[in-house]
Amino acid sequence: MSESADAGIQVAAWSMLGTPAAASLMARIGADLLVLDAQHGLYDDAGLIAAIPAASAVPVHVRVPENNAALIGRALDAGATGIIVPMVQNVAEAIAAAAAARYPPLGERSWGPLAAYRGESTTPPDEANESVSCAVMVETSRALADVDAIASAPGVDMVFVGPFDLAIALGRSVPDLLADHSPGNPLDAVVAACRRAGTRAGAFAGSLEAARALSERGFTTLAVAVDTQLISAAGTTLVDAARGIRTSGRPA
């Protein structure tokens, strides 16, 4: 489901905690979509099967653990409307990811949606092919070198940047990567490749400050609200504020 880079900012929520309750809560904070993280988060196969229906208030995408056709198909069988595939290194790997996300004749996905086991209707293959979103992650110098071909690979709807891994791979810090406006810098190179291909450019931001910086570069899908960060930040703020409440001075 290709989307132009001019389609506007799409704000993603991100869940790491691996439970239907966490997914359901994150699906209701007003984001445009929810990503369940099965690579670095706590979502395993059983967790995804339980959490995806619970989060149906918004489109649910899954970051799969690796570029593996069985894992991609399983996430989509569980009801995800999109996948994010990490550590895609070249155009061949991008094409393989996209093929795993679609049924023939557009791809190689095997039929077996789990909705049937819940007594729900299933989406016909042609409709599933049309509606699914396949994002591939550019996180290394090897991927950057092939980013034009990756962005224009058949079936790739979005190139998604992981700033942490990309910064590590380039021997830089994330703030340095975000602040780099030199000619041909990595972030601008990704956006330029996506614009030439008519593919969406996305990134994990994790904070409002990073989201602003990435948006100014031209990234149009931004993951901002992460459940683990929200609990820690809001909880710390509330506890600190509560410690500052003055007592009435009356004995308990």
DSSP state letters, 119-150:
T-----HHHHHHH-EEEEEE-SHHHHHTHHHH
| C-alpha closest to that of 161 among 217, 111, 117, 109 | 217
Residues belonging to the active site: 40
| C-alpha closest to that of 36 among 187, 25, 128 | 25
DSSP annotation string for 10-52: EEEEEE-S-SHHHHHHHTTSS-SEEEEESSSSS--HHHHHHHH
For the cut 90, the answer to whether the pLDDT of residue 184 exceeds it is yes
Question: What's the pLDDT at 6?
Answer: 41
CB atoms inside a 10 Å sphere around CB 152: 17
In the chain, what's the furthest Cα-to-Cα distance? 76
**Structure confidence by residue, pLDDT tens digits, 72-126:** 999 999 999 999 999 999 999 999 999 999 999 999 999 999 999 888 899 999 9
DSSP 8-class letter at 230: H
β partners of residue 160: 137, 202
Instruction: For residues 159-184, give the mean pLDDT.
Output: 96
For the cut 90, the answer to whether the pLDDT of residue 42 exceeds it is yes
What would the two tokens of residue 9 be? 């900012």
Dihedral over Cα of 41, 60, 89, 183: its sign = negative
**pTM above the 0.85 mark?**
yes
pLDDT band at 8 (very low <50, low <70, confident <90, very high): confident
For the cut 90, the answer to whether the pLDDT of residue 2 exceeds it is no
